[in-house]
Structure 1
Amino acid sequence: MEAYKIPAQTRIGHVHLKVSDLEKSLSFYSGLLGFEITTMYGDQAAFISAGGYHHHIGLNTWHSQGAPPASVNGVGLYHTAILYPDRKDLAEIFERIRAANYPLTGASDHGVSEALYLDDPDGHGVELYWDRPKELWPKKADGTLEMYTRPLDLVSLRNELNL
């Protein structure tokens, strides 16, 4: 049997998160990060998106109202990664997070991308990142990607905004 390869145009469409408090989650995802609410299911669920898509993130309390965060040392989602169109957009959300005094859990340069890391109110990891143009991705001598984790130069990132 020949190995199957998923079509190159395939994308991950959305993530659906169990949350303990819908209002706190909406304050984070819509209030801080700027996602738009596309629909609400009473006071138990919300669907949010960027640019009018039906939803990129679903938030619900159907089985998690008032529940504690998932264990850091257990199985589950490591983080949701949100891809920004360009470096200036990443700089803008960084400034918004900074102005709100919302804590980052990390900031990394991965060679192929630059990323900011933070946790939502339920402790779900969130990565905010932009991809460098593919032709600039670092490669090893054999042509494979050479991804790494180095500290992100936040001063350089802020300079995108000409502050």
Structure 2
Amino acid sequence: MNTPTPPPAAEGAAYLAPVGARIGHVHLQVTDLDRALAFYQGVLGFEVMLRYGDQAVFLSAGGYHHHIGLNTWHSRGGHPARREGAAGLYHAAILYPTRADLGRVLGRLQAAGYPLAGAADHGVSEALYLDDPDGNGLELYWDRPQAEWPRAADGGVAMYTRALDVAGLLAAGT
């Protein structure tokens, strides 16, 4: 399939997405709906809002119509999502409101024996990295208040990647 290359932006006509634009939800193809549901509902704690038999389920945090959609429409019994050398989604990110909330979900992951692929302190946020049961990459994170973000000499954000204080994060969740 040939996808056309978008034309270069017209000089002086740069478009910026409006303030407040955001990604509203992620919808994932999974190979086994019950296994995916055991992870997203059972471990991460998302609430089922709507289920279409053994084909699809929509999950939420706090009663929103859905933050995560899962379906087996074209993937039941198929291969894991991530393959070496293939394009696709690197990860979806789930933002937790507080450090304590992220610490609690880390405790749940550890209690379930669920492996992390990584963990990092980025200065602006603390993040946990893992794959869901179908190999879809996830980042679970919380943002520090903007006033605490590291800044460069010119005032811009100076993100970094350092080791995460996992013990401190766990303690914050208790």
Pick the TM interval, shorter chain.
over 0.9
Q: 1:40 aligns with which of 22, 39, 51?
A: 51
Counterpart residue identity of residue 113, structure 2 = N
Counterpart residue identity of residue 88, structure 2 = G
For the residue of structure 1 that corresponds to 2:105, the secondary structure is: helix
Matched, 1:88 2:103: no
* Cα shift at 1:99: 0.9
Matched, 1:117 2:129: yes
Q: Which runs of 5+ in 1 are unaligned?
A: none
Match of 1:19 in 2: 30
TM-score (normalised: structure 2): 0.90
For the residue of structure 1 that corresponds to 2:34, the secondary structure is: helix
Match of 1:63 in 2: 74
Counterpart residue identity of residue 106, structure 2 = F
For the residue of structure 2 that corresponds to 1:65, the secondary structure is: coil
- Mean CA deviation greater in 71-80 or 48-57: 71-80
- Mean CA deviation greater in 153-162 or 19-28: 153-162
Counterpart residue identity of residue 171, structure 2 = N
Matched, 1:10 2:35: no
Q: 1:128 aligns with which of 101, 126, 140?
A: 140
Q: How many residues align?
A: 162
Alpha-carbon distance between aligned partners in 2 of 1:161 and 1:51, rounded to the nearest angstrom: 19
Identity %, equivalent residues: 62
Counterpart residue identity of residue 168, structure 2 = S
Match of 1:100 in 2: 112
The 1:72/1:34 distance shift into structure 2, 3 A limit, reads farther
